[in-house]
Every structure is written in structure tokens, then in C-alpha cells.
Structure 1
Amino acid sequence: MRLPFLRRTPRGRRRWVAVVIVLILVPVLGYAATAVALAGEVPPRTRVAGVDIGGLSSADAEAKLVRELSGRAAAPLTLDAADTEVRVRPGDLGLALDAAATVAAARDGSMTPVGVARSLFGQRDLRPQVTIDRRRLAAAVADVAKKVDRAPREGGVAYRGLTPEPVLPKDGRRLDREGAARAVQQAYLVGSGAITVPVRTVAPRVSAERVREVAATSAREAVAAPLTLTSGNREAELSPQRIAARLRYVPDGRGGLRPRFDASDLAADLDAKLVDEDRRPRDASFEISAGVPKVMPSRTGTGVDVAALGPAVSAALSRNGSRSVEAPMRATEPRLTTEKAAGLGIKEKVGSFTTRHPCCAPRVTNIHRIADLVDGHVVLPGETFSLNEAVGRRDRARGFVEAPMILNNRFVNDVGGGVSQFATTMFNAVFFGGFEDVQHVPHQYYISRYPAGREATVSYPQPDLRWRNDSPYGVLITTSYTRTSITVQFWSTKRFEIESESSPRYDVRDFPSLRESGPECIPMGGVEGFKIDVWRIFKKDGETVRKQKFHTVYAPEPRLECD
């Protein structure tokens, strides 16, 4: 049976054609109408990082994105790298919102049938488009890496006394820079909270097991006996204690440890023992003639090559065999050559001070001894002079004797007592020479033979007297003494005229009266405590160029009677 609508009649064919045309034209006309309505606009229901820009013109959409996202675009980002957080500004990372590109991406394909259909029935959430300055991004990530990266702690062996102590290794870490850059780009403007960036573990080269093994074997054998250094027919012995104080075991680059001996501070001692005196270098010196310093020439000599001695001792210790090493020698220039001394500008007296004391007490022996050790010392431009470093420990072997000193609020007898008088004399030479005061410690109690607020005490190793030669010239220190006085003089090129002014004593406090017994008790006379201010006034051509204030507080010295 033939269906009616398939009958081949002219009227039926016309109806069929009309139906087909309608079926085609309706969607086409609908698409065309929608496309015309959307022309020049962002498709409806389009959102960028939570900002709705649907239905807006390109210009309005760009403006809205800039307005709504500018705060977020400029807000610092927090990067979380292991246990370290680093805040970085997007501008420093080379990141910025590209509003025009974002709107263009939103409109891309909007006029296609699929785009029109999506505009009519769908919703889009788009990522913001971002401009990236690759150079700035790499530089900023490198700066973050400096705060995050941690080199592994390599294992080794140190010594406590003669006991080897393993220093166990520890992992390090390194920022994955490429991964960090990707993480920052992906999270910018769309993420919230800290941005986790990848960090890699960096393992040390030597295992903890190997460190413990060396500490228990080779490191113990290295300090089991003395080591002898030889030069011709002369010898010097390094005791186990001196070896341990300068020996460490460090990575050898092959997963193990090797000994490393530091001989840098042994030159003076070894030269005295291994080199004949007439072969040693001699510094240029100065002689004061008719009130003018004159240079006495230096001499090149032979000395122990401490740079080569360290590896030589290390090699001997690594072999665990012979305990004898031939000390390497080299031609040695003096610390101060004739030419250098002549160019130091040491030509006139620039500072001098004298303090007085009663004759003939044991403390006078110590004052004279420390003066002899410092006499002739030259402080080069920029150097800091330390009285304790220049003199060393005061002991009987170096000519010091027992005399009273202040310790724990009382007078006690100790070897080297009384040398604070020399420190006070030198401090005043520094004061009037115009040199920089680095460290000076006033006495606890005021001592009447010293100028109030302008004095210093020393002990070993602290407190110390230190001052810096802040001039472009050298400074020659000379000392002299009588049975009742000590004088320190500085020779250089004069820069300032120095004057001193002092305030009246204030906040004066009375002293207590005490009574003690025992063979160690030393009577104390009792002195008031007080505060005082002293100004050092620097002048040039009679004009004041600056002032420096020194504030000193003295405690009351008790009156102590001894039973």
C-alpha cells in the first residue's frame, strides 16, 4: 500500500518541499538572529576567576576584569617549600593579568554554531590569561632558592681533648626551580592559600656508618702518640694534644674521610725550634734618635712552609706508620719589610701618657715585663691591636710574678696582677692619639692613681684592651718606665689635637664596711661609687670636628678588715 504523503502528485511534492525548507530555515534563522544579537559581546554566562563578564562588550569586559582582579593580581604570593615559607610579589615574578587576551579567549569561537549553542544553553568558567616575563620569573625563583636551599652537612670527625667525636651527616635540600616556576604560573590568580613548590632531598657524600667507623679507628690512632718534625739536625715535637687541636677528618670525595691538619698557627713556634736564629726572617724595626723614628732594615730568611706542612702531616697520619715528618721549608719574607716600614708615615709622636705607682711592689715587676713585651710593636693601617693577643697569658715562665688583682669583688693574689696599670696607660695613649677604641673595660672600683672614667683593666683571656689603627699610617708603640712610673708613646703622623673634658661625679654611693677572716683575705680601704662622663674632643686647626662620650659606672669598694 502506498502512503498518502508519498503519492507523486504536484501538490504533494510542493508540500514536502515547503516542510523541508521550514525545517532548514528555522534553525538557520535562529542561529543568525542569536549571532547578530551576540556580535561584539562576550557570550552570556562567561566567568573568569569568579568574575562574570558575560554579555559585556570587549572594552567593558576588560575594564571589569582589571577592576575586579587588580587587587588579587598584585597581592603577594606565599610559596611553601618544605618547612620554609617565602612571600613574593607577582611583579617580582614577572607575572601580570592580561585582560585583553583573557577577553579575546572568552570570545574566541563564540560565533560558531557550537559557540552560539553554548551561549544559549551553557556556562563557561575560564582561566585568566597571564603575561610572563621569563627572565624575571627565573631570577625571582633563584632568589627563593637561596632561602630554601640547604647544603647537606657532610660528616666528619672532630676532637674533644683526645677523644674523637663523630659529626654525623645530615640531608640537605634543593628547590626544584622549573617545578616551582610551573606551580607559580598555574596558581596565579586562580589559587588560594600558599602555593606548594617542589623541593628535592640532597644526600651527603659520606654515610653515618663510615663516619662512626673512622672515629673508632683511624682518628684514635692519629692521636695515640706524638709526631716529630725534623729539619736537618733540629727537631720539634707535636704532642697528641696539639695534633688533636688542629686535626679534623673531612670527606675525601670518594665516599670516605681523610685527615686534614691545619698548621697555619704553628709558624712562629716551629721557626724558633727548627730554624737557626741567624737564618730566620727579621722584621724592620724603628729606633728613636733625637726624637725622630728611624727605620732599621729587615732581613729575608728561611721558615717553615706551613701551607705545605699541613698536607705533609695529614699524609703521615693517614699512613698510620712513621711518626716523623721532614718539615718543608721556604724563603720567608718578614712581616714588615724595610720598604714597607719606610712608607708607613711613622715620623712623629702622636700620643703619650704616663701613670705613676709606688716603688718596688711585685706588681711593678709585671708592669715592666708587659711593657718590654709590647715595646717596638708596629700596628699597620686598619689593624686592630689586642693586648692579650700581643702579650699572651701572663705566667711565671714568661717572667710574671704573683701580685694583687681584683677578682669576684675582692683583692686576690694572682700571677700577672698589676698589669691593668699598663692597660690604663696604653688606653690613654690611644685616647690622646685619636685612635678608635674597640674594647676597654673600666675597673669595678675607682683607683685614685688613674684618671676617673679614662682607665682600663685586663685579664686573660678577657677582659681585653683592643683598639684599631683607623688611620692610613702605621703606629709604632714604644714603652719606657722608672721605678715609680710607666709611659706608653705612639709614633705615627698626627691627625688631630685631642682634648678631654669630664663631668662632675654624680650618683655617688657610700661604701659598706665588712670584716672577714682567713689567710686569703686582703684588706680593702673603701672607696665611694659614682658615675662620670668623659668626652674626647677631636680638633683640627683649632676647630672641633667631633666629640666622643665615655660613660663609666664605679661600684662602691667596701672597706674590708681582715681578722
Structure 2
Amino acid sequence: MSRGRQASIIVGLLVLLALSAVGVDAFISRGRIHRGVTALGVQLGGLAPVEAETRLSQEAARRLNRRLTLVGGDAAPAFTTIITAADAGVHIDVATTAVRAMEVGRSGSLCARLIERMRLWISPRDIATPITIDDAPFLSVADELSIVVEHLPVDAELVVNGGEPKVIAARKGARLNREALKHLLMDAVAGGTRDLQVTQDLQVPVDAIAPKLTTEKALKALEDASIFFSAPVRLTYRDWVADLTPDDLAQMAQFFPEGVDAGRPLTVDSTTGRELVEQRLAAIETPPVDAEIVPAVDRRSYSVIASKDGVRVNWDTLLRLIDQAALRSAPRHVAVPTETWAPRLTTLDAEMLQSRSVIASFTTYFSPANRARVNNIAQVAATLDGRVIRPGEIFSFNEAVGPRTQAAGYDEAPVIDNGVLVPGVGGGICQVSTTLFNAVLLAGLPVVERWPHALFLERYPVGRDATVSYGSQDFRFRNDSDSVLLLNVVAADDFVEVKLSGVAFARRVELSTSPIRDVVPPRSSPTYPRILVDPALAPGQRDELEPGIEGRSVSVRRSVHGPDGQLLFTDEFESVYQPKDWIVRVGG
């Protein structure tokens, strides 16, 4: 017999032997997982799927309840906290794993199955186990961690003490990398030890946040700041003269980070600057005198006392000119800019309004508990009361009220920001804009711009609120009539009333509100509330649970008819309110 024939016989016998072995293995493993198959470190060969699922469930429970020690990294403060993967909502899908294990060697063509079974004799196969994480418990754990880990970056500052500018160094911030934390926890479950007594240390993933203004830039800005205090700045108005000394300029100076690269790191602080200069310029300003409508004794006729224009300082321009003068070596001189101070009610307006009547009024109510909010509402009411809207004019709430600043008399009160209530200067003024919006609706005047609040507020008529934010969201309406309109706003401790008056103004208004739709529940719940760090609370202090609010959509349709019943126009106001989370505020 030739050697080639002998080799062929040997190969054939080996193949037959291998096939026989595979066949025997297939017979033995009928209804059971093939040998050499593992998952989560558990040998599953020879087990029925139900048995495999039981073994995997036991191992999953061990892994999910093993202690995990979370520690702070380089960018985070030093801390240690112990949790389990189960606490964070990690879930192991043992049922799918058992099914996948059973499919090994049983899928594909006959040849592929034979090859797979032969490989299992030589090299075991580990089945990938589906591991997921539930959002609610994970977010609860992540929120708790963020209280310890996260902090905002602090920009370098240039401060002025006693006329001497100094640099305060910048500090990096830290942000919890939540996506990386998810993978860290799932990887710890997938690849960790089976020993329950062993605590696994995991470094919490944190991203460093660089400050916008570094210490190096602030030191460079320090060199450019000296000219600001180098000499007095002289103010003049006709025969009036006053000097702002270097000490005055030091009190007015404010660090201006945006100007660092341009070599002008200091600017005049608008609040401090105005307070310092205002008393000196008091003699320059003359308030206007409104016209008066005086009824006769018989109340059947009226006479008008003429108005007078006033003079006032243009503060924005003045402070800008002082700023420019302080940033140059010479000349350091400013002519005080003034402007005509028009009365609210001119003689012509008063003559036109002698026979006025109320065309619409509306009142909203609020709690008197928050005194800052009550003050802000009263401040806006006083600013708007007596305003005149002439025919064809578009009234702008933001233009009429102006910036809401502490210098203008506004206090910090709750405002809506990113779906939560936070302190903000001017909080509460939307009570006035909403009341005005409703009066305008009932008067039948065209609305040019209106924005709903981000959240649904039950204290207002459904779909009939109007939020404002200086520089972005405004409330505007047009006086499309032939009559001058008079706006009166009265505020007390628990209500604000808006009245619109005009002459020969007769319109009929019909309002209809759609059913509420597109209801969206809050993302968090009373069980797993959103954790919000509140610097107003002491470290470790927890506030009461703040209820969530469902998101929803609603629309209000209006039809406006003229005095003869003809339809003048229709409009519709769509409001989409976002859901508000259940929140617990904690001190940080």
C-alpha cells in the first residue's frame, strides 16, 4: 500500500472519529447547553436552559449586591461612598443569556454547527451577557454623587481694594461624567470578582471644566489696569463742574473679563457708578409735570392743566463716557449728556382723554408671603400706571419697564429657569404682564408678541399667561384704534389690577379654550426626585419635596367684533408647557 493511500486512510479515520465524537456530544447534550459554554464566569455546559437561568440568576444577584466603593479622582474632591450596582439600577438579563447559550452549536448550516461543536472541545466560549441600567435609580445615585463631585469653575478676578488692583487666582471646575459612570458600573458587574466580601474600588469619572479667564490672563490684565486710576475725571454741565478722584474711580471700577484681551480689564460698574454720581448731579435733573384733567363743579365739563417737559441725565451714555475717559491718559473730561424727560400724560393726550371710559379690566391674585415678589409687582405697577398708548403705537412691556436690576429697585424673588424655580432679580413681574395680557385680550386689541411660561401655573386662566424676560421675551400689543388709550395699574399686597381706558372704543370679544392635550409626566418622581444643589441652604440640609407639574398643551382662540357686530379679526394663542420635575433641594 502506498504512503499516499495510508495518509488518506488515516485522515479519513480521524475525521470519522471527530464526527463520531461530535455526534456523541450532540446526542448527550440534546436539550442541554453544549459543553464549553460559559457566561458570567459560570460553566453552563450540560445544563438545561431553566437550570442555566437559575445558576445565572444566583450569580447575577451576587454581582449586583457586591459592594462597590466609589472614590474621588484627580479632578474631584477626596471622598468615599459605598453602593451596590443594584442601588444604581443595573440589571442583568439572565433569560436572554440562557437562550443565547442554548443556541451555541445549534444555529447556521450543518457544517457550521459541526465546526462550532468541535471548537467547543478545544476552546470554551463565553457568552456576552446583556447588562442595562434603569434611568430612575441611576439618576438618583448620580444626583447624590454630583452634590459631592461637581463644582463650577471660578474665573480669575481683578479686584480693587483701597485703590490697588489685585488678582484672585482661577480654579477649575468639575462635572460628573454620567455616561462614563453608567459604563463603569456595568463593566464592574460584567468583569468583577465573584467574592461578595471583596469591595471593588471605582474611581468616579469626572470631567474638568476650565475657567473662562485663567490666572495668567488676569496677571496680564493687572498691568493694563493702572491707567484707570492715574488721574481725576472731570464732569461738566453748563456752569456746573465736579471731579471724580482716583479714589472715586476705584469705588466705581469693576473687573471686565471680556475686555482683558483688548487691554481694558476695568470698566465702570453701572450700579455703583450711578449711586456715587447721582447725588452730585441731582441739581441738573428736573422732573416733568403731567397734564391734569380737572372736572368742573357740575362734573359735566373738564379743563386741562398743561404738562411740562423735564430734563434728566442720560445715565447709560454718561457712564460709558466716564468709562472711556478713565481708560485714556488725556483728555479726562466728560460733558454730562442730558435728554428731554417727557411727561407720561401730555397736554394733547389729556385733551383727548377728557371723556374716556374703561374698555377692559382684569385682576389676578397672589400670596402676600413673599415680600420681595410683592415689592417687584408694586414696582412694575407704579412704572406702568398712567402710560398712554397712542393710535397706531405698539406698546412694549420691556421698553416701558426697562431692565430689572437692583439699582432700579427690584429684589430677588423666584423665577423659572430651566424648569425650576430659582432666585432672580425682578421675580414676580410676570404677574403684571399676565394681567395686562388678559386686559388686552378682553379689550380686543391685536397682540404682537406673547410668550407662555415654561411651566403651567394654576393661578392664571388656562392658556392665558404671558411671561417676559428683558432682552428676549416681551409682551407687545398694538393700539389699532383711533383713540388714545390710558393704562392704569394698581397693585396691593395680594392682587394687581389693570385697566385700559379710551374714547369711543366699542368692541365685543369672544374667547374659547381648547381641551388640554399632549400631557407629559415629570421625568422624576416622589420616590426618585431630582436632587438640586441650593447654595441658600446649609451644607447637608434638605428642603421639603417640591411637587412635579405635568407638561401639557392648550390653545385659546379669540374673535373680535366691531360695534356693528362685524368680525374684525380672529387670533389664536398656543401654549406648550414643559413638565417640571419632582425636586429635593439640598445644601452644597
TM bucket normalised to smaller? 0.3 to 0.5
- TM-score between the two structures when normalised by the length of structure 1: 0.47
TM-score (normalised: structure 2):
0.45
Larger radius of gyration: 1
The one of the two structures with greater contact order (alpha-carbon pairs below 8 A, sep at least 6) is 2
